[in-house]
Structure 1
Amino acid sequence: MGRFVSENPLVLLIGACEVGFWVLLGAGLVARYVLRARRLSTVLLVLVPVLDVVLVTASLVDVANGSPPGLTHGLAAVYLGFTVAFGHSMVRWADGRFAHRFAGGPPPPRPPRYGAAKVAYEWKEWGKMLLAWAISLGVIAVTALVAGTGIPAPPDWFTDPMWSWGARLAPVVGIWFVGWPLWTTLAPPRAPVGSR
């Protein structure tokens, strides 16, 4: 493991960005709700997406300097895709809980469990997954273009170290689609009789 990390320093940067995301988010929320330093909180929370810019820049600089695009560049693209697609809702989720716990805010809303609201919720969440996949593929494509390797045909995605990340996410997108938005649309859960 140590050798893999030493040969792929981008892995360390991905780990640092993940830790940095939670540190900046936590520090921003503590500054807002515990210290009551709203300006500091805003600065800390604005720095969260800067981590994504640092990561994608480092990945592109790495391949521009001659490193062959590989597994870690694909992982960096996937990380970016997921933080862009899901990051805002994660920040909102954490913010609601902090506001409730430390600032007397209302209890955070729960996801809908029944009917049309549940169906809409599942489609929205799956849309985030689809967006994460699209962003990941877009960043992988840009990385391939910067590296000068071009974009392989989809069957070759499975054998290419970087493009295989896009191939790995395809079944996740499909399973999520069938198991949640499609299933919920075809058989929307109904509230039990007598429940409010």
Structure 2
Amino acid sequence: MAAMAFRRGSATAVAIASAVLLAGCTGAPNADGPLQVPDPHGMTTAAADVGQVFTDGFEMLVVEGDEPITIRDVSLVGADPQLELVDAVVAAEERTLNFAYDPAFPPAEMDLGPLSAAEGMVLYPRSQQRIGTDGFTDYELLLGIRITEPGVWKRTGVRILYEVGDREYAWDSPAELIACTKDHSEDGVSCPSKIE
């Protein structure tokens, strides 16, 4: 940091020094936490109606290390404003399958075991999890997403803010999603795989 010269008693100097000190004490959450970041991935959904809430189940949450984490917030990254995150829930090891997409939220026809609100949920590291009846471990994040206007819309990722003890972390998954309304689909069913 560059040295600063101040006159004694200068209110401006005190305000600047305070701002610099506060800026040094705050900042973005650490990205190097125990929640494993996946490789870049993406999907194109089936066409939906305006207002329909579908499930994006493409994110697996894997906690490494030996301390549990607590989810504080889930958000969409790089999303067109026409994609609205309605809710985020988590399926644990009681589920009998993993899946990427369902046209309803929450998915009604899938045996996912109990679903818990993502915000406030404690996730345990692999070393402390029990293995489910069907051999599942880790967690599946299920995002309820609504399309609010006709068109083809995109998201570039998913962000989770979480805590381990008194430390804050950010998990940014490079998870591209393309969703569309039926009137903007290629065949009334499928959304285009790219947005020009």
TM-score bracket for this pair, using the shorter chain length: under 0.3
Q: Which has the higher contact order (CA 8 A, sep 6+)?
A: 2
- Quick check: which one's helix share is greater? 1
The TM-score normalised by the length of structure 2 is 0.23
Q: Which has the higher strand share?
A: 2
Larger radius of gyration: 2
Give the TM-score normalised by structure 1. Answer: 0.23
